[in-house]
Amino acid sequence: MQDDPGGFRLLAGSISDTGGANEIAEAFVEAPDGTTCHVTRVGTQHITFEAVPVDNYADGPNELSNLEAATLSDLFPDLAESAERQRDTEPETLESWFPDIKRQWEAWRQGPDL
């Protein structure tokens, strides 16, 4: 398993029937080019992609100051630990849910062969 899933970032996702023939992995990811994609895999290693249009006028999240982040971490230590653990395991999660995501995404971006 690779440590880097090709520059993808997991935004939200889930997996069901883990390890079964009907395993379904679904996620919203930020692709290496900054676009957002809805990614799905059902049972096989084939991944399907769907572009998610993002409104250019939407405000992004506001970054917390160091003091705000420390205060929230003190108030909710389990949540802070969970978020840190998720960031640490994100590359492995993406690679296990969507093997070969980078190559399949690049093929999808190129479109069907003519």
SS (H, E, C) 68-87: HHHHHHHHCHHHHHHHHHHH
- The answer to whether residue 38 is domain-embedded is yes
What's the rounded Cα separation, in Å, for the pair 88 and 25? 20
- The answer to whether residue 13 is domain-embedded is yes
Domain limits for position 95 = 9-54+63-109
The reply to whether the predicted model has a pTM over 0.85 is no
- The answer to whether residue 88 is domain-embedded is yes
- The answer to whether residue 2 is domain-embedded is no
- The answer to whether residue 1 is domain-embedded is no
- Domain tally, the chain: 1
pLDDT digits (tens, 9 = 90+) for 16-67: 877 677 788 898 888 999 889 999 988 876 888 999 987 766 565 566 677 7
